[in-house]
Amino acid sequence: MITELFEDWKRVFGAKLQERQVLDIRTTELWAIALKGLRITPAEFSTALAKSLTLKWPPTVPADFLELARAGKQSEYLDTQTAFETACRCAGMRGDVERNWRHPTVLEAANRIGWENLAAAGNGFIKYFATVYEQVVSEHQAGANFVIQQARRIEHKNIPASAEFVDELLCKHGFKKGGKGKQSEPCEQATVEI
């Protein structure tokens, strides 16, 4: 892709390009290493390519090229400090409560580190969290799918028992139908053969 990018730039910028930078095999390799390190996505590459062709001069370094795609675009990921604070707060919540992880990558990082560790973490723990979180974000950018499951709660319903059910239950336990104040009828006892 980078080789094709450089070929497109040679066609568009012509002599201007020759004055500023040499686009040879080694430059292609260095750009590939740098853009991989910057975690460029295919969509960002396409956007940056399209924008670069409208400039007076092509970008001279990979970071400037990537900035064409990311300029003005707010990241979908939380910054490390906010992600750390969110993970610690949610991990420290007890009981069946609704946790707002804010992004699936924060939950995934918390799962990898351990909720107990995050619940007891101090500010010095952020360095370790950052390494795990950056790895999770990198995996997510590469296509990994992390999901925050909806909380499954059993709804409590108070359904009164019918009179027939109560009578049947009483009969099974040797009591007569009808109870207090009513005329008692003999229960038909079920016999159990052993």
Number of compact structural domains in the chain:
3
Task: Summarize the confidence of residues 135-145 as an average pLDDT.
Answer: 90
Looking at the fold, whether 172 and 192 belong to one and the same domain comes out as: yes
Lowest-pLDDT range, 4-8, 58-62, 142-146, 153-157? 153-157
40 occurs within a structural domain? yes
The DSSP code for 125 is G
192 vs 56, which has greater pLDDT? 56
> Which residue segment(s) compose the domain that 194 sits in?
159-194
* Nearest-angstrom CA–CA distance, 63 and 44: 12
Please name the residue ranges forming H helices in the chain: 2-13, 15-20, 25-37, 42-52, 62-70, 80-92, 104-113, 115-119, 126-141, 163-172
Looking at the fold, whether 12 and 52 belong to one and the same domain comes out as: yes
Q: How many residues does the chain have?
A: 194
pLDDT tens, position by position, 23-81:
788 888 998 999 988 888 888 888 888 888 888 888 888 888 888 887 765 678 888 99
Last residue of a domain, one of 39, 70, 101: 70
Is the confidence at residue 181, as pLDDT, over 50? no
Looking at the fold, whether 24 and 65 belong to one and the same domain comes out as: yes
146 occurs within a structural domain? no
Looking at the fold, whether 84 and 65 belong to one and the same domain comes out as: no
What share of the chain in percent tops pLDDT 70?
83
pLDDT tens, position by position, 115-135:
999 999 988 899 999 999 999
Is the confidence at residue 17, as pLDDT, over 80? no
51 vs 192, which has greater pLDDT? 51
Is the confidence at residue 174, as pLDDT, over 80? no
